[in-house]
């Protein structure tokens, strides 16, 4: 573990532990967060809801991530939802304490900033999926991206550690659940994906990439 990670973990170790059940909204638009949350266990969905009630998932936080990032650093108003996708355990530090910690540890702030920029790349890629390609290519693309970001390799297969439903996938790429189900069925029939309990497995990552919008990427 790097020096900055040790400092980060040590800071949050002294903070309050909180548990959330699957499906609980941790923060909602208009809330003033009671602090900064470090995710210890589980996954948290970061999403918006349109005026028509349609949900768009922007990011999925995994263990080691913290939120709400923008509020923690800039104090800007919360305009999105943070909801547990699984049972979740977090450490919550005070916002003032977190900001003081960053001031005292500029190398941590630099590393966090770099990590945020890397995560933003996923959001930019997803924006492209909403514009280009067929429904089939969009589903193949997001599954491949998730296999890289949340995947656990077992031989040639990769299991996406996040328990994604067809509805979850639909909310990530702006499609209907019914359409996602159809395209997932096609991928399953081709032997590209499978299931391990409630988790999606990528049976052949390279073939899945060839079916996606990322086929020409180096």
What digits encode the pLDDT tens for the residues 162-211? 999 999 999 998 899 999 999 999 999 999 999 999 999 999 999 999 99
pLDDT of residue 5: 77
pLDDT of 216 above 60: no
Span 52-80, pLDDT tens digits:
889 999 889 999 899 998 888 888 889 99
Span 111-122, pLDDT tens digits:
878 777 777 777
pLDDT of 217 above 80: no
- Enumerate residues 6+ apart whose C-beta is below 8 A from 211: 136, 137, 140, 187, 190, 192
Q: Within 35-134, where are the H helices?
A: 69-74, 95-104, 106-129
Average pLDDT over residues 83-90: 97
Whole-structure pTM value? 0.87
pLDDT of 129 above 70: no
Bridge partners, 200 (sequence order) = 195
Span 98-107, pLDDT tens digits:
999 988 888 8
Transcribe 166-194 into DSSP letters: HHHHHHHHT--HHHHHHHHHHHHHTTSEE
pLDDT of residue 166: 96
- pLDDT over 90 percentage in the chain: 62
Residue of higher predicted confidence among 6 and 168 = 168
Q: How crowded is residue 20: how many other Cβ atoms within 10 Å of its Cβ?
A: 19
Topology classification of domain 134-211: Arc Repressor Mutant, subunit A (1.10.10)
Judge whether 95 and 36 are in contact, CB under 8 Å. yes
- pLDDT over 70 percentage in the chain: 94
C-alpha atoms less than 13 angstroms from C-alpha of 202 in its C-beta half-sphere: 29
pLDDT of 146 above 80: yes
pLDDT of 49 above 60: yes
Q: Which of 133, 202, 129, 118 is nearest to 171 (CA)?
A: 129
pLDDT of 18 above 90: yes
- The whole-chain average pLDDT of the chain stands at 89
What superfamily in CATH does domain 3-127 come from? Jelly Rolls (2.60.120.10)
1 falls in which pLDDT band (50, 70, 90)? low
Distance (Å, whole) CA 172 – CA 145? 12
Instruction: Spell out the domain ranges in the chain.
Output: 3-127, 134-211
Distance (Å, whole) CA 158 – CA 64? 21
Distance (Å, whole) CA 146 – CA 212? 13
Residue of higher predicted confidence among 1 and 105 = 105
Distance (Å, whole) CA 21 – CA 4? 31
């Amino acid at each position: 573990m790097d020096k900055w990670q040790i400092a980060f973990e040590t800071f949050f170790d002294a903070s309050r532990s909180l548990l959330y059940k699957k499906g609980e909204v941790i923060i909602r638009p208009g809330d003033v967060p009671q602090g900064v949350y470090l995710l210890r266990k589980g996954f948290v969905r970061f999403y918006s809801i349109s005026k028509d009630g349609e949900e768009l998932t922007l990011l999925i936080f995994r263990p080691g991530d913290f939120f709400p990032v923008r509020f923690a650093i800039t104090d800007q108003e919360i305009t999105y939802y943070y909801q547990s996708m699984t049972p979740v355990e977090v450490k919550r530090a005070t916002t003032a304490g977190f900001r003081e910690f960053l001031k005292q540890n500029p190398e941590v702030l630099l590393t966090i900033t770099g990590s945020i920029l890397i995560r933003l790349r996923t959001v930019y890629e997803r924006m492209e999926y909403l514009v280009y390609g067929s429904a089939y290519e969009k589903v193949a693309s997001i599954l491949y991206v998730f296999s890289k970001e949340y995947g656990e390799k077992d031989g040639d297969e990769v299991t996406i550690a996040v328990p994604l439903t067809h509805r979850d996938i639909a909310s990530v790429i702006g499609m209907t659940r019914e359409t996602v189900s159809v395209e997932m069925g096609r991928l399953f029939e081709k032997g590209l994906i499978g299931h391990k309990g409630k988790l999606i497995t990528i049976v052949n990552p390279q073939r899945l990439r060839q079916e996606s919008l990322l086929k020409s990427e180096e």
